[in-house]
Amino acid sequence: MSENPRRESPARRRILDTATALFYAEGVHAVGIDRIIAQAGVAKATFYNQFPSKEDLVLAYVHELDERGRAEVEALPEQPPRQMLLTFFQRIDAAARQPGYRGCPFLNAAAEYPDPTSPVRLAIDDHRRWTHDHLRGLLAADGHADPDDAAEILIALNDGLLVASHLDHPAGLPDLIHQAVTRIIEPAVETSI
């Protein structure tokens, strides 16, 4: 989650909102600081007072995406674990239907930061770890015999569905999501004799 202790100011919010829209629509490296400053309507000194470098801004962007994602998942209605797993993945279909959808912002940013030791990649890794742990917890609560391995498979499925939903725009995405997730979690409950 966010490690930035700064109190939110209107200028900081405008900068981050502007950067979020531009980074997602065009890519992190394609958008320069001067453009963000101009579109946010702030002075260069204000920008650098809030974000000493572009990497600081990118980190704030990734941290905020992480916080929003966690809050969205935590706000899902309480359901049995198996249904929660399906609901978690159905969010992909809802996102893919939004105008301007370009896939997963975490995967997009990770593609632009290939060094696995960069602070941006470490922040993305933290989000992915949280996602894995969340899925693992649901699998364990559902009685899956191997929740660790199943969570790894679900992470790979999540990545694949996010990419396919952007690149392929499958008409039957909801059905694809349901079938794929169900095939992974179906053997979850062992029958007792």
* pTM attached to this predicted model: 0.88
Percent residues over pLDDT 90 in the chain: 84
Which tokens in the block code for residue 109? Answer: 């940013």
Q: How far apart (Å, rounded) are the C-alpha atoms in residues 105 and 111?
A: 10
The residue type at 181: V
Question: For 7, which DSSP code?
Answer: P
- C-alpha distance from residue 103 to each of 61, 149, 167, 171 (Å): 16, 25, 8, 16
Q: How far apart (Å, rounded) are the C-alpha atoms in residues 77 and 74?
A: 8
- Which residues touch 62 (CB under 8 Å, ≥6 apart)? 106, 109, 120, 123, 124, 127
pLDDT for 112 equals 97
Residue 81 CA, chain-centre distance (Å), reads: 21
**How many residues appear in the chain?**
193
The mean pLDDT value for 157-166 works out to 92
pLDDT for 172 equals 87
133-144 pLDDT per residue, tens: 999 999 999 999
Arithmetic mean of pLDDT over the chain: 91
Domains of the chain: 76-188 (1.10.357.10)
- C-alpha distance from residue 110 to each of 56, 81, 102, 113, 133 (Å): 15, 30, 14, 5, 20
